[in-house]
Amino acid sequence: MQRPEPTMRASKFLIATLKETPSDAEVISHQLMLRAGMIRQSASGLYSWLPLGLRVVRKVEKIIREEMDSVGSQEVLMPSVQPAELWKESGRWEEYGPELLRIKDRHNREFCLGPTHEEVITDIVKKELRSYKQLPVNFYQIQTKFRDEIRPRFGVMRSREFIMKDAYSFHISKSSLQDTYQDMFDAYVKIFDRLGLDYRPVIADNGSIGGSGSHEFHVLASSGEDDIAFSDQSDYAANVESAEALAPTEARAEATQALTMVDTPNAKTIAALVEQFDLPIEKTVKTLFVEAADDSDFEIVALLVRGDHQLNEIKAEHCAQVKEPLTFATPEQLLSNIGASAGSLGPINLKVPVIIDRSVATMSDFSAGANIDDKHYFGINWERDLALPEIADLRNVQEGDPSPCGTGKLSIKRGIEVGHVFQLGLKYSEAMNATVLDENGKSKNMYMGCYGIGVTRIVAASIEQNHDDNGIIWPANLAPFQIALVPLNYDKSTEVRDTTDALYQALTAAGIEVFLDDRKERPGVKFADMELMGMPHRVVISDRGIKAGTFEYKGRCDTEKQDISSTDACQYLVEKIRA
């Protein structure tokens, strides 16, 4: 009889399972990936993929390839080491900062380890494409990226070296870019559906690159590093950093209190002020000072948000008067410009520009610092005590806020960013002079889009969503193997061995990826390992069962095992697996 191939046999496959949880793994996916023997760490943020883990990576890549190919994106492979010249041409050699790992070769020429590939692909496209007739085009690659993260963490979730699918599209017009952007968005939906993830596309910030459209795809998980705001009554979802906080609809109430200055020596924070003077927190205002834009006549600018609200730094940066990147004023700057210290700051008697949040504009009878140390004003009212300043959306949305889409209220959940689609526009094609001739024979910069998926991060994200006390629970499309055969007494019982091998052959012939646990281990050890590694289906073959004409079957999520007839087991299992 033909025996199973070595790589599918547990006795020849590296099973590097760990009983105990390594102490430096914080999140569940990191713990389980180490315990299941999928990865090992080489240095902070650098991991090796062991055979089991790599099989899962390949499953993710396969799905991505199929969907990318089906929307007409062409696969390429670019170098991970890139020449500095390209980055200097785009301006990012200076812009990118220390996250870009720069290296020199033996001739002292400068290179970097590629964190992304806009420069390389733009350089290729500008050299190869001449005419608008060749557009649009779309290229993708699945490749190792390197970003010298300040703080790698959570295992493969935020590592320095990681595998990413990145795609870049080129267009003669904005509308063509928007068409491809939509195609890519749709492809991403298919990819994340097939990956079996609980995810949401969310509206994202365009960052400093600008451009008109950007969506992130987030896997919902409590260990996520981003806050996502959802409408409870529509499809609206946005990263909190870019979710609009609507202006309150109710008009400002009439003033009822007189403006009074109060001694508040022990109230340096809103929390202390609220507690000591029994004020509603919605009647207090936080005043934050940040550095003013370089072309401003002032050194600093005041930003006001309600006491219970959080300043949104990205929104603040978008104000013309505010310096980018956002920089908080130093105590010295406060003293020289205001004459008071943090803890007693407010909008009255200021000689610097003031921008207030929309919700602050509708407040009345509120309190804020007096710009005199240890004093606050109570009963402040706009247009009576001071003029209404410039109004802007400055705060983070909160749970319960009305949704910016107009229907429903917002709730906030944590998300792991696993994908990003982005309309880049002309940034790189202008900087690098990437042009084609249009139908009038005129040279035109190409519009660009870029589209990323974090391949290795998806593996971790999937585990965050799919596990139990016994280990990983792989969705069908990601499982390293589709089924585990666990024979008992495989080494001693000819019956068991022949029956197991026959079932193996039959399942393999049906196109199933079978893992055969032929180790000389006690049953409990095998069961525990198969569950830890997340095998979706398990069949136990024993002398006892063979005599009764049955195998024992258990799905990874089933609570009960069941006996199945050994005569039509193969067909039954194939149906189970394909279901």
Partner RNA sequence: CGGGGCAUAGCGCAGUUUGGUAGCGCAUCUGGUUUGGGACCAGAGGGUCGUAGGUUCGAAUCCUGCUGCCCCGACCA
| Contact positions vs RNA (CB under 7 A) | 17-24, 26, 41, 43-45, 99, 116, 147, 149-154, 157-159, 162, 164, 207, 216-217, 225-226, 325, 417-420, 452-454, 456-457, 470, 488-489, 492, 522-525, 527-529, 531-532, 540, 542, 544-545, 552, 554, 561
Q: Which is nearer to RNA, 453 or 479 (CB)?
A: 453
Q: How far is the CB of 311 from RNA (least distance, A)?
A: 11
Q: How far is the CB of 538 from RNA (least distance, A)?
A: 7
Q: How far is the CB of 547 from RNA (least distance, A)?
A: 10
Q: How far is the CB of 296 from RNA (least distance, A)?
A: 22
Burial 426-453 (b: 16+ CB within 10 A, else e): bbbbebbebbbeeeeeeebbbbbbbbbb
Q: Which two tokens stand for residue 226?
A: 């981003």
Residue pointed to by tokens 């990263």: 239
Close Cβ partners of 330 (under 8 Å, ≥ 6 residues apart): none
Q: Which is nearer to RNA, 164 or 355 (CB)?
A: 164
User: Is there a contact between 38 and 17 (Cβ–Cβ < 8 Å)?
Assistant: no
Q: How far is the CB of 134 from RNA (least distance, A)?
A: 26
Q: What is the 3-state secondary structure (H, E, C) of 139-179?
A: EEEEEEEECCCCCCECHHHECCEEEEEEEEEEECCHHHHHH
Cα–Cα dist 321/292, whole Å: 6
Instruction: Extract the runs of DSSP E, i.e. beta strands, from 401-560.
Output: 410-425, 435-437, 443-445, 447-454, 467-468, 471-472, 483-487, 514-516, 537-541, 550-555
Close Cβ partners of 97 (under 8 Å, ≥ 6 residues apart): none
Instruction: Extract the runs of DSSP E, i.e. beta strands, from 293-386.
Output: 300-306, 354-357, 366-369, 375-380
Q: Which is nearer to RNA, 338 or 484 (CB)?
A: 484
Q: How far is the CB of 396 from RNA (least distance, A)?
A: 11
Q: Which is nearer to RNA, 168 or 366 (CB)?
A: 168
Contacts by 494-498, CB closer than 8 A, 24 or more apart: 495/543, 495/546, 496/541, 496/542, 496/543, 496/546, 498/1
Total Cβ atoms within 10 A of residue 397 = 25
- C-alpha angle 493/499/504, rounded to 5°? 125
CA atoms within 13 A on the CB side of 106: 0
Amino acid at 3: R
Q: How far is the CB of 407 from RNA (least distance, A)?
A: 27
Q: What is the DSSP string of 89-114?
A: HHTHHHHSGGGS-EEE-TT--EEEE-
Q: Which is nearer to RNA, 6 or 325 (CB)?
A: 325
Q: How far is the CB of 273 from RNA (least distance, A)?
A: 24
Q: How far is the CB of 388 from RNA (least distance, A)?
A: 30
Q: How far is the CB of 560 from RNA (least distance, A)?
A: 10
Q: Which is nearer to RNA, 225 or 399 (CB)?
A: 225
Cα–Cα dist 298/511, whole Å: 71
Q: Which is nearer to RNA, 259 or 525 (CB)?
A: 525
Q: Which helix or strand (DSSP H or E) is residue 328 part of? A: none
Q: Which is nearer to RNA, 169 or 456 (CB)?
A: 456
Which of 246, 487, 285 shows the shortest CA–CA distance to 371? 285
Q: Which is nearer to RNA, 393 or 417 (CB)?
A: 417
User: Is there a contact between 146 and 113 (Cβ–Cβ < 8 Å)?
Assistant: yes
Q: Which two tokens stand for residue 561?
A: 């095992």
Q: Decide the pairing of beta strands 199-203 and 214-220.
A: antiparallel
Q: How far is the CB of 391 from RNA (least distance, A)?
A: 25
Cα–Cα dist 12/9, whole Å: 5
Cα–Cα dist 114/141, whole Å: 13
Q: How far is the CB of 479 from RNA (least distance, A)?
A: 17
Q: Which is nearer to RNA, 337 or 499 (CB)?
A: 499
Q: Which is nearer to RNA, 180 or 344 (CB)?
A: 180
Q: Which is nearer to RNA, 89 or 552 (CB)?
A: 552
Q: How far is the CB of 452 from RNA (least distance, A)?
A: 3
Q: Kindly state the DSSP code that residue 286 receives in the 8-state scheme.
A: E
Burial 147-156 (b: 16+ CB within 10 A, else e): bbbeebebbb
Amino acid at 199: Y
Q: Which helix or strand (DSSP H or E) is residue 344 part of? A: none
Q: How far is the CB of 410 from RNA (least distance, A)?
A: 19
User: Is there a contact between 234 and 408 (Cβ–Cβ < 8 Å)?
Assistant: yes
Q: Which helix or strand (DSSP H or E) is residue 392 part of? A: strand 390-392
Q: Which is nearer to RNA, 369 or 452 (CB)?
A: 452
Q: Which is nearer to RNA, 241 or 357 (CB)?
A: 241
Cα–Cα dist 163/30, whole Å: 16
Q: Which is nearer to RNA, 10 or 370 (CB)?
A: 10
Amino acid at 568: D
Q: How far is the CB of 301 from RNA (least distance, A)?
A: 19
